[in-house]
Amino acid sequence: MPPQKILISGAGIAGSVTAYFLGRAGFSVTVLERNPALRTAGQGIDMEGPAIPIIQKMGVEELINEKTTKEKGVAFVDESNISFATFDVGDKGTDIGKNGSGRVWLSLADKKHTGFTSAIEIMRGDLCNIFYTAANAFPNVKFIFNTSITSVQRTSSSITITTSAGKQETYDILIAADGFRSKTRQLILETNDSEAFIQSQNCWVAYFSIPRKPQDFPRSRGYNAVGGRFIMIRPKDDQVSSGYLVVSKDEPSLRKVQRKSMAEQKAALAELFADAGWEATRVIAGMKDTEDFYLQDVAKIQLGGRGWSKGRCAMVGDAAYCSFTGTGTTLAILGGYMLAGEILQSPDQPEVAFKAYEDKLAGYVKKAQSAPTGGPQLFVPQTRLGVWMIRTLFWLVYWSGITRWVGGFKMPKFDLPEYPFDRRSE
Ligand SMILES: Cc1cc2nc3c(=O)[nH]c(=O)nc-3n(C[C@H](O)[C@H](O)[C@H](O)COP(=O)(O)OP(=O)(O)OC[C@H]3O[C@@H](n4cnc5c(N)ncnc54)[C@H](O)[C@@H]3O)c2cc1C
Q: pLDDT of 369-395, one tens digit each?
A: 886 666 778 889 999 999 999 999 989
CATH topology of domain 72-116+199-299+373-408: D-Amino Acid Oxidase; Chain A, domain 2 (3.30.9)
Atom of ligand 1 nearest to the CA of 9: 43
**Confidence class for position 186, pLDDT limits 50, 70, 90:** very high
Q: What is the pLDDT of residue 409?
A: 55
In the predicted model, what is the mean pLDDT of residues 286-312?
92
Q: How far apart are CA 359 and CA 191, in angstroms?
A: 24
- Residue 12 Cα: closest atom of ligand 1: 31
Q: What is the mean pLDDT of residues 61-69?
A: 88
| Helix boundaries (H) for 246-382 | 252-257, 262-273, 280-288, 318-321, 328-345, 350-369, 375-379
Query: For a pLDDT cut of 70, what percent of the chain falls above it?
Result: 88
Helices (H), 157-222: 183-189
> How is the beta sheet containing 83-88 ordered, strand by strand?
83-88, 73-77, 219-225, 229-235, 240-247, 198-211, 293-301
For the chain, residues classed under CATH 3.30.9.30 are 72-116+199-299+373-408
Peptide bond into 218 cis (omega under 30): yes
- Please check whether residue 129 is in contact with residue 107, taking contact to mean a CB–CB distance below 8 angstroms: no
188-192, 230-234, 393-397: range with lowest mean pLDDT = 393-397
Task: Read off the pLDDT of each residue in 348-356 and give the average, rounded to a whole number.
Answer: 96
Please report, rounded to a whole number, the percentage of residues in the chain having pLDDT higher than 90: 70
Q: Measuring CA to CA, how many Å separate 8 from each of 20, 136, 276, 289, 401?
A: 11, 13, 43, 34, 45
Q: From the CB of 41, is ligand 1 less than 6 Å away?
A: yes
CATH 3.50.50.60 domain range(s) in the chain: 5-62+122-196+302-369
Whether ligand 1 lies within 6 angstroms of the CB of 206 is answered as: no
Q: What is the pLDDT at residue 311?
A: 96
Is the Cα dihedral 318, 320, 325, 330 positive or negative?
A: negative
DSSP state of 216: G
Return the ligand 1 atom nearest residue 149 CA.
42
Given this model, what pLDDT does residue 372 score? 62
Does the pLDDT at position 407 exceed 70?
Answer: no
The response to whether residue 332 sits with its C-beta less than 6 Å from ligand 1 reads yes
- Determine contact, residues 237/125, Cβ cutoff 8 Å: no
Q: Which of 68, 6, 33 is nearest to 235 (CA)?
A: 68
Nearest atom (ligand 1) to Cα of 45 = 11
Query: How many whole angstroms from 178 Cα to the centroid of ligand 1?
Result: 7
Q: What is the distance between the alpha carbons of residues 175 and 31, in angstroms, rounded to a whole number?
A: 9
382 lines ligand 1 (CB under 6 A): no
Q: Which of 259, 318, 322 to mutate to test the pocket of ligand 1 (most atoms within 8 A of CB)?
A: 318
pLDDT band (50, 70, 90) for residue 116 = low
**Once rounded to an integer, what is the mean pLDDT over residues 266-279?**
98
Q: How confident is the model at residue 413 (pLDDT cuts 50, 70, 90)?
A: confident
One-letter identity of residue 289: D
**pLDDT at position 104:** 29
Q: How far apart are CA 394 and CA 123, in angstroms?
A: 26
Q: How far is the CA of 328 from the centre of ligand 1 (A)?
A: 10
What is the average pLDDT score of the chain?
A: 88
Query: How confident is the model over 156-184, as a mean pLDDT?
Result: 96
- Beta carbon of 299 within 6 Å of any ligand 1 atom: no
User: How far does the centroid of ligand 1 lie from the alpha carbon of residue 80, in Å?
Assistant: 35
Please indicate whether residue 34, judged by its CB atom, sits closer than 6 Å to ligand 1.
Answer: yes
Residue 156 Cα to ligand 1 midpoint, Å, equals 31
What mean pLDDT is predicted for residues 50-74? 90
Atom of ligand 1 nearest to the CA of 41: 1
Nearest CA to ligand 1 atom 37: 178
5-62+122-196+302-369 folds as: FAD/NAD(P)-binding domain (3.50.50)
Residue 109 pLDDT exceeds 60: no
Residue nearest to atom 13 of ligand 1 (CA): 42
Beta bridge partners of 45: 122
197-223 pLDDT, tens digit per residue, is 998 888 999 999 999 999 999 899 999
Q: Is the CB of 410 under 6 A from ligand 1?
A: no
